[in-house]
Amino acid sequence: MLLATFKLCAGSSYRHMRNMKGLRQQAVMAIGQELNRRALGGPNPSTWISQVRRRSSLLGSRLEETLYSDQELAYLQQGEEAMQKALGILSNQEGWKKETQQDNGDKVMSKVVPDVGKVFQLEVVVDQPMERLYEELVERMEAMGEWNPNVKEIKVLQKIGKDTFITHEMAAEAAGNLVGPRDFVSVRCAKRRGSTCVLAGMATDFGNMPEQKGVIRAEHGPTCMVLHPLAGSPSKTKLTWLLSIDLKVKGMRGGSGGQVVVRKTGSSHPHHATERILFYSDRITGCKTGKGLE
């Protein structure tokens, strides 16, 4: 009975139930009577307290689900699917071919994935803690255009829950203007799993951001970044980036021109992120000496 009464009390927070005269008083009296009965001869209090906590947690999650529209739930599902698909591609070690490798060990690899096309994988060690990278890539997402020369502007169109975003990204022209104005509308999902952060995304449709005149709507997906502290050096971050991009240019998807554009985009990004973080680190340090942000 207590669990049923608890549900009734939770329901009293709804507008149409608040108007039911005497509902709260009856619920409070019922809970009081039930507590007295349990105290006199019922099971151990910890048992039913645990039951209530479990039920309240379940009820809370169900109520939270009802806060989302069907479209928002679809975006949440799409973000999760993008993450699972991208991680699946990264976890399959077969078929990768080395595109470039730097003297410091940073490398770019590629392979062709059925139903996706050619994807690129970048592995690099960034000389900054994971939390700083996470801040730049997620919490300061809209500032990405300030430090990433491949991004002209990025805006969060909608945030759904704690870790899902709909974004509009205006790409900077690249490769000697070989590729004209392009933009992307994507669903992005950020998750933490232990000491690892995973940022994933893919192209989506958003009614309030239709295609713009003179700009070709390109597509990401699935893409992801995996961040985790470097083993033995927690002040450094191992970054693995999966990049899949369709620039919507005839003859370029999988061709040499498209590879040049994508490879250039993928290999430059983490280093620009590092420069940005170091810049802010110097500015923050300067604040302590009176030479900080103006």
Cα(170)–Cα(144) distance, integer angstroms: 11
Question: Which pLDDT value is given to residue 57?
Answer: 52
pLDDT digits (tens, 9 = 90+) for 247-261: 887 655 443 334 444
Which of 172, 255, 259, 247 is CA-nearest to residue 216?
A: 247
Return the domain boundaries, the chain.
2-66, 73-287
Please, are residues 206 and 187 in contact by the beta-carbon 8 Å criterion?
no
Tell me: pLDDT of 194 over 80: yes
Q: Are strands 164-171 and 97-101 parallel, antiparallel or unpaired?
A: unpaired
Q: Which two tokens stand for residue 230?
A: 């470097």
The residue assigned the tokens 């001869």 is 41
Mean pLDDT of 180-198: 91
* Span between the terminal Cα atoms of the chain, in Å: 63
Low-confidence winner among 59-68, 174-183, 231-240, 278-287 (lowest mean pLDDT) = 278-287
Please, are residues 217 and 135 in contact by the beta-carbon 8 Å criterion?
no
Which of 112, 111, 89, 86 is CA-nearest to residue 200?
A: 86
Q: Could you tell me which residue, 173 or 91, shows the higher pLDDT?
A: 91
Cα(167)–Cα(4) distance, integer angstroms: 42
Tell me: pLDDT of 287 over 50: no
Tell me: pLDDT of 148 over 80: no
Question: Which pLDDT value is given to residue 245?
Answer: 85
Residues 133, 239, 154, 112: what is their CA dihedral angle, to the nearest 10 degrees? -170
pLDDT digits (tens, 9 = 90+) for 257-276: 344 444 444 445 555 544 44
pTM: predicted TM-score of the whole model, two decimal places: 0.66
Tell me: pLDDT of 25 over 60: no
pLDDT digits (tens, 9 = 90+) for 72-82: 999 999 999 99
- CA angle, 63 then 65 then 71, to 5°: 145
73-287 has which CATH code? 3.30.530.20
Q: In sequence order, what are the residues at sequence separation of 6 or more whose Cβ sits closer than 8 angstroms to the Cβ of residue 19? A: none
Cα(218)–Cα(206) distance, integer angstroms: 14
Low-confidence winner among 83-87, 187-191, 217-221, 262-266 (lowest mean pLDDT) = 262-266
Question: Which pLDDT value is given to residue 269?
Answer: 54
